Amino acid sequence: MIGKRGLAALLLVLGLELGGVAFLAGQGMEWRQDAVQVNEAVQSVQAGWGELESHENCTDLDYVVVDLDGRVLFRTKMGLSESINQAVIHRDTVLDLWAGGVAVGKILVYNDSGQAFGLWRKRAAAVLAAAILLQGAACVGYLAYLERVVVKPFHKLEGFAERVAGGDLDIPLEMDRQNLFGAFTESFDLMRAELKKAREAEAKANASKKELVAKLSHDIKTPVASIKAAAEVGEALADTERGRENYGQIIQKADQINGLITNLFTATLEELQQLTVAPEDMGSQELEYILGNADYRRRAVIPAVPECLLYADRLRLQQVFDNIFANSYKYADTEIEVGVRREGDCLAVSVEDYGGGVKEGELPLLKEKFKRGENAEKIEGVGLGLFIADYFMEGMQGKLSVQNGKDGLRVTVMIALSGTIAFHEGMMQDGGGLAIDLREI
């Protein structure tokens, strides 16, 4: 980039050239002639006065010779002044010619100094004009350079600031480290990155809190339901009216607590925008522990799991099977049959009860939010277990399906095998994790 001194020198030279052009334009023509050649011309004409027909010009000057009556006796070329009046007007040199001590005529020496000076002045002006144009082009180029290295980066910063103010912190600010403002723009991009980290940390903290409240609310419903069931048994077996009233109050309070928990769970889930799913490689032997942990009532026999490498989030996969087994306990309350098999690029885990299943028309609705079958009308629940489980499986590039089996409802979980993942269109990956958008819940 041109410094201040270079720019000052460029402007100084430009000023000098403009001054030179103005000086040349204001100068008058010079009318001086070469006196030596003029004398040579006069001497040669006087020496051959009687033989002017054969006279030869021995100088570089042009001239006309006239007698005392004004008749032209000799001319070097046409177009010259042929009378004294014309010569005076043109400022030609007029000298007397002598022969034998007597004036015999005059020589009119053509003055071409003005024409020569004019030609020189035009050439000088052309050179100066070319230099000015060249320097003008250099100035235009310099302005274009400033536009590219100074103005455009600031325009980019303006648009970048608008995007940051609008909350778009994902697009980095393009920078040229060789540019004068490279470090300056880099500091703005560092600010964007730090703002993004801070916003992500804040969103993650808020989501964790809301998710914790939602999970606790969901988990508390199970013991409350057990308390209510025990109170109902106690009420039926009570011997006194006082005892039945006490058990009735317990049932009433359990219903109240269950309603409040349902409201809290629904409100928290409504506000929860994202549940993060971070799948990674895990051994299939961990799946046996997850299934056993989900079957806390020991209603199922967990089969051997084939040796393979799965692509899943341990925590979310545990939640998926927790919801599936909890639904089976709640709606069927029977023994559970678990099957594990390889299907293509997935490990299929099926969980089937003996509760008779649901109507075929209700099967597509079971994975939707707040949807349950007709057999669940008198059973506490909000219809979100399979909906959340389905979203978790999508986040792990797997699949969850619901069918009617031979004797009851069968839920099949397709867990992707590691190394065979085909990312679904529309999914977003960030550092190996996927974010399941629940804003429509």
Q: What is the pLDDT of residue 428?
A: 37
> Would you state the pLDDT for residue 196?
77
3-state secondary structure of 239: coil
Once rounded to an integer, what is the mean pLDDT over residues 227-252? 88
| CA distance readout (Å), 417 to 283, 346, 401 | 10, 5, 17
What does the alpha-carbon distance between residue 441 and residue 439 come to, in Å, rounded to a whole number?
Answer: 5
Mean pLDDT highest for which of 275-279, 296-300, 370-374, 419-423?
A: 296-300
> Which segment of 53-57, 192-196, 393-397 scores lowest on mean pLDDT?
192-196
Residue 226 one-letter amino acid: S
> What pLDDT is stored for residue 117 in this prediction?
67
Q: Classify residue 109 as left (phi > 0), alpha (psi -120 to 50) or beta.
A: beta
The pLDDT assigned to 378 comes to: 65
Tell me what the mean pLDDT of segment 20-30 comes to.
59
pLDDT, residue 192, reads 75
In this prediction, residue 275 carries a pLDDT of 65
Burial grade of 433 (CB within 10 A; 0-12, 13-18, 19 or more):
middle
pLDDT digit string, tens, across residues 144-163: 877 777 777 667 666 667 66
Q: Are 351 and 302 in contact (CB under 8 A)?
A: no
d(CA 368, CA 402): 12
Lowest-confidence segment of 77-86, 108-117, 332-341, 349-358 by average pLDDT: 108-117
Q: Is the pLDDT of residue 436 over 50?
A: no
**Structure confidence at residue 90 (pLDDT):** 82
Q: Which residues, at least 6 apart from 230, have a Cβ–Cβ distance to it below 8 Å?
A: none
Residue 109's φ and ψ, nearest 5 degrees, are: -85, 120
Q: Are 321 and 217 within 8 A, CB to CB?
A: no
Predicted confidence (pLDDT) at residue 46 exceeds the cutoff of 60: yes
CA atoms within 13 A on the CB side of 244: 6
pLDDT bracket for residue 53 (50, 70, 90): confident
For 24, 118, 122, 129, 271, the CA distances from 126, given in Å and listed in that order, are: 11, 12, 6, 5, 78
Least confident piece of the model among 67-76, 169-178, 403-412: 169-178
| 8 Å CB contact between 105 and 97 | yes
pLDDT tens for each residue of 368-416: 877 776 666 667 666 778 888 998 999 999 999 999 999 999 999 999 9
Phi, psi dihedrals of residue 219, rounded to the nearest 5°:
-75, -30
pLDDT in the model for residue 411: 96
pLDDT of amino acid 284:
93
* Residue 282 DSSP SS3: strand
Tokens read off for 363: 């099967």
| Bridge partner residues of 74 (DSSP) | 65
Give the E-state strand segments of 216-307 in sequence order.
274-277, 280-283
- pLDDT at residue 3 tops 70: no
**DSSP structural state of residue 417:** B
0.95 exceeded by the pTM? no
pLDDT at 435 over 60: no
**Interatomic CA distance for residues 153 and 259, integer angstroms:** 59
| CA angle centred on 313, ends 312 and 318, rounded to 5° | 105
What pLDDT is recorded for position 426? 39
Q: Report d(CA 318, CA 298) in Å as an integer.
A: 16
Question: In this predicted structure, what is the pLDDT of residue 207?
Answer: 67
Average pLDDT over residues 409-437: 63
- Tokens 């030869």 locate to 56
pLDDT grade for 205, boundaries at 50, 70 and 90? confident
For the ranges 117-126, 215-224, 279-288, 422-431, the one whose mean pLDDT is highest: 279-288
Centroid of chain to Cα 104: 96
Mean pLDDT of the chain: 79
Give the pLDDT of residue 440.
39
Given a contact cutoff of 8 angstroms between Cβ atoms, the answer to whether 66 and 85 are in contact is: no
Per residue in 110-133, pLDDT tens?
887 766 667 777 777 777 777 778
Cα 52 from Cα 142, distance rounded (Å): 67
Q: Which run of H or of E encompasses 25? A: helix 4-26
* Alpha carbons within 13 A on the beta-carbon side of 72: 14
41 CB-near residues (< 8 Å, 6+ apart): 57, 58, 59, 61, 63, 107, 109
Which residue reads 């409350």 in tokens?
Answer: 224
Residues 84 and 90: their CA atoms lie apart, in Å, by 10
- Cβ neighbors of 77 (< 8 A, separation 6 or more) are 62
Above pLDDT 90, what percent of the chain?
Answer: 21
CA R_g for the chain: 53
Beta strands in 273-327 (DSSP E): 274-277, 280-283, 309-312
In this prediction, residue 437 has a pLDDT band, given cuts at 50, 70 and 90, of very low
CA dihedral in degrees (56, 61, 63, 65; nearest 10)?
-50
Q: pLDDT tens digits for 290-330?
A: 999 889 889 999 999 999 999 999 988 998 998 899 889 88
